A and B are shown apart, each in its own frame.
Chain A
Amino acid sequence: MTGAGLPPVLNFVGLGHSHVVALAKGAYALEAKGAEVGGRAICGRFRYLYDADFTPPFADAARSRLNPAIEAALDDGAADFVLLSIGGNEHNVVSIRQPARRFDFILGEASDAPLDPKAEIVPEAAIRETLRDYMNENMRVLQAIRATCNLPMALVEPPPPLPRAQVLAYPKEFFRSQIDQRSMSSDLLRRKVWRVQVGMMRQACAALGVAYVETPSDMFGADGLLKASVCGQDATHANDAYGETMIELAARLMAAPAQGSG
């Protein structure tokens, strides 16, 4: 036991889609270093929701029950909390590439920001509802996980869009159609769409009683995108250094008294 009477290890189950990989790497790196949070070592066991055992995520067409393998992963017995990274790349689907009919929008939180003079200006609600549509299945998964498991939970914010050069270096990694300098959306637009998405995720978490782990300011470059040193080896993901930071933040949040409870 620690001095505060707590078990010496802070155990958690990590579940998620592609962004969970960086988090898992970060957690394992922290464990290897013997990192502690509040005097407790951290120990995470991760599950990748795209693994065959966990797909489809629901056991029935009505989506009334989670896939039993996901339920079993949540029913760990030893975990102090559940760490989630659900979806998170929907903003890229919307924003990475400009269609022939260019678009831009006004972000409510920065309504005076410049707009693309050649673009059709759509309402932010158009972006929000489009993201809602793309995020629908993953939000259902989040709701079902919350409803299934009583452990405290935290959702890690998806990383911000990656710098332009990084995306262009991996044009086919995640997108069916090739993107190039001309067709790729501006940094500002990509960041705005990400802001809309993370706002929705934060709101969903608040409604579900899931703690929300925001990307800290030192993860951003001067352009408001993910800083180059924490980019992963593709066009949309972060690396294990980013994972370490986010795991540490999440662990601190969940280890703090009266935090992160469902």
Chain B
Amino acid sequence: MARPPYSDLPDSSYWRRAVGGVAPEAIDPVVVAPFQIGARTKVAAAGSCFAQHIGRYLKAAGCAYLVTETAHPVMTEAAARALNYGVYTARTGNIYTARQLRQLIERAYGRVQPADDIWDEGGLFLDPFRPTIQPGGFNSRREFEIDRIRHFSAVRQAFETLDVLVFTLGLTEAWRSRVDGIVYPLCPGVSGGKFSPGAHEFVNFGVADVVDDLAAVLQALKAVNPPAKVILTVSPVPLAATAEPQHVLTSTVYSKSVLRVAAEMAAKAHENVAYFPSYEIVASGMAGNYFAADRRSVTEAGVAHVMRIFAEHYLKGGAGGGAFAEIVRKAAGAVGPQARAAGLEAAFAVMCDEEALDAAAVLAGPRPPGAT
């Protein structure tokens, strides 16, 4: 008589053995990592604000965190931070949606030329696709254009030389141009640009959209870098604001659900893609309350849990020793003040310009421009 299919499953398949009967801090939802990251593996990071932690931890762990758009040595560290050099592999700013990443590749390779390509703010110029990338914007069209040529070159170099791309999916909601469908990271009018209902429209991507965008990204990556591998993860950080006519919590669950499904589908459809459960570790609540008092920011302990599990499975040698273990230990709050003194506060001072949505609402009145 055949044994029932559940009789030989590993502990990870059973709630009681993998979650219910396990200490919260020991919850580890990764079963098998399909590939690993060695000391020389060039890892690139992109995505929503949660993705910044990945880069910082990988750097701290001594991994070959790939940065192709580097700060010039004349700059001090503080200046480089202010201009968002090294936050991600290229100076992309946060990439909240899969569509944004797709567009970035297409723009970097000259396949797409948005109609709305530069915002003139009365003598200062902003990049609509990274409007908060540097304080004060660009001082002239000439400066803007020189910097963007360098930026696109860095993006191409990243895609062509990375070994592993870690992409953190953040949002499904976005604003796009009615002219050519180009998607903005932030609604025009929030951190630059001018919102116009005739020029901009709200879009909330569904599963098919995100799957299609991810497939396009993977295809583009494969075309220039066939051996590249990708780790997809979903940011546990809730939406700062929703433009849907519904509660922000409802929109958050919808958005994260779409992203989670799309990531799963992409991972199942592509051999070189893995899914890493950042979202599950933090947002499920099973591993502890990893949200700060605002119920949006992820605590240091939450990030540390995520990165410990990441290291355990994806880093050769695991999280058991060296600089990575030390930074995780400190970040987990074992030595709070000392950790801050060691400069760790920077690891948690993430660039999250989505918060500008909330700030804009506070400053401008009851609703952001064009919100429905």
List chain A positions with a Cβ less than 8 A from chain B: 94, 99, 101, 103, 105-108, 111-112, 120-130, 132-134
Contact A129:B79 (CB < 8 A) given known A101-B73, A103-B74, A123-B138: yes
B72 interface neighbour in A103, A108, A112, A124, Cβ under 8 Å: A103
Interface size class of B (residues with CB under 8 A): 20 to 34
B82: nearest chain-A partner, CB-CB: A129
Contact A133:B76 (CB < 8 A) given known A124-B139, A128-B136: yes
Complex Cα–Cα for A179 and B140 (A) = 32
On whether the beta carbons of B74 and A132 are closer than 8 Å, the reply is no
For B11, the chain A residues whose CB sits under 8 A away are none
Q: A126-B74, A130-B76 are in contact. List 10 more A-B contacts (CB 8 A).
A: A105-B143, A106-B142, A106-B143, A106-B146, A111-B139, A126-B75, A129-B75, A129-B82, A132-B78, A133-B76
On whether the beta carbons of B146 and A121 are closer than 8 Å, the reply is yes
20 contacts between A and B (CB under 8 A): A94-B74, A105-B143, A106-B139, A106-B140, A106-B142, A106-B146, A108-B140, A112-B142, A121-B147, A125-B134, A126-B74, A126-B75, A126-B79, A126-B83, A129-B76, A129-B82, A129-B135, A130-B79, A132-B78, A134-B76
For B72, the chain A residues whose CB sits under 8 A away are 101, 103, 120, 122, 126
B78 interface neighbour in A101, A106, A121, A133, Cβ under 8 Å: A133
B85: nearest chain-A partner, CB-CB: A126
Binding site of B, secondary structure by majority: helix, strand, loop or mixed?
A: loop
Which residues of chain B from 137 to 182 have a CB within 8 Å of any chain A CB? Answer: 137-140, 142-143, 146-147, 150
Complex Cα–Cα for A112 and B139 (A) = 11
Give the residue among A103, A112, A133 with the most B Cβ atoms within 10 A.
Answer: A133
Give the residue among B74, B83, B137, B150 with the most A Cβ atoms within 10 A.
Answer: B74
For A107, the chain B residues whose CB sits under 8 A away are 139
A111 interface neighbour in B71, B136, B143, Cβ under 8 Å: B143
Complex Cα–Cα for A129 and B137 (A) = 12
List 7 tightest A-B contacts by C-beta distance, closest first. A108-B139, A111-B140, A129-B79, A130-B79, A133-B76, A133-B78, A129-B82
For A121, the chain B residues whose CB sits under 8 A away are 143, 146-147, 150
The distance from the CB of A91 to the nearest CB of chain B, in whole angstroms, is: 12
Give the residue among A127, A129, A134 with the most B Cβ atoms within 10 A.
Answer: A129
Complex Cα–Cα for A127 and B138 (A) = 12
List chain B positions with a Cβ less than 8 A from chain A: 71-76, 78-79, 82-83, 123, 134-140, 142-143, 146-147, 150
For A105, the chain B residues whose CB sits under 8 A away are 143
Complex Cα–Cα for A87 and B143 (A) = 29
Complex Cα–Cα for A101 and B70 (A) = 12
On whether the beta carbons of A122 and B74 are closer than 8 Å, the reply is yes
Complex Cα–Cα for A126 and B83 (A) = 7
Complex Cα–Cα for A146 and B72 (A) = 35
A113: nearest chain-B partner, CB-CB: B142
Contact A130:B146 (CB < 8 A) given known A123-B134, A123-B138, A125-B136: no
Complex Cα–Cα for A111 and B125 (A) = 13
For B71, the chain A residues whose CB sits under 8 A away are 126
The distance from the CB of A198 to the nearest CB of chain B, in whole angstroms, is: 16
Complex Cα–Cα for A73 and B164 (A) = 61
For A128, the chain B residues whose CB sits under 8 A away are 135-136
Contact A122:B75 (CB < 8 A) given known A111-B140, A129-B135: yes
The distance from the CB of A106 to the nearest CB of chain B, in whole angstroms, is: 4
For B123, the chain A residues whose CB sits under 8 A away are 108
A100: nearest chain-B partner, CB-CB: B73
For A120, the chain B residues whose CB sits under 8 A away are 72
The distance from the CB of B107 to the nearest CB of chain A, in whole angstroms, is: 19
Complex Cα–Cα for A106 and B124 (A) = 13
Contact A129:B140 (CB < 8 A) given known A99-B73, A134-B76: no
The distance from the CB of B343 to the nearest CB of chain A, in whole angstroms, is: 15
The distance from the CB of B153 to the nearest CB of chain A, in whole angstroms, is: 12
B79 interface neighbour in A99, A106, A133, Cβ under 8 Å: A133
Complex Cα–Cα for A121 and B140 (A) = 13
On whether the beta carbons of A130 and B75 are closer than 8 Å, the reply is yes
Complex Cα–Cα for A29 and B169 (A) = 69
For B78, the chain A residues whose CB sits under 8 A away are 129, 132-133
B141: nearest chain-A partner, CB-CB: A111
A124 interface neighbour in B74, B82, B143, Cβ under 8 Å: B143
For B140, the chain A residues whose CB sits under 8 A away are 106, 108, 111
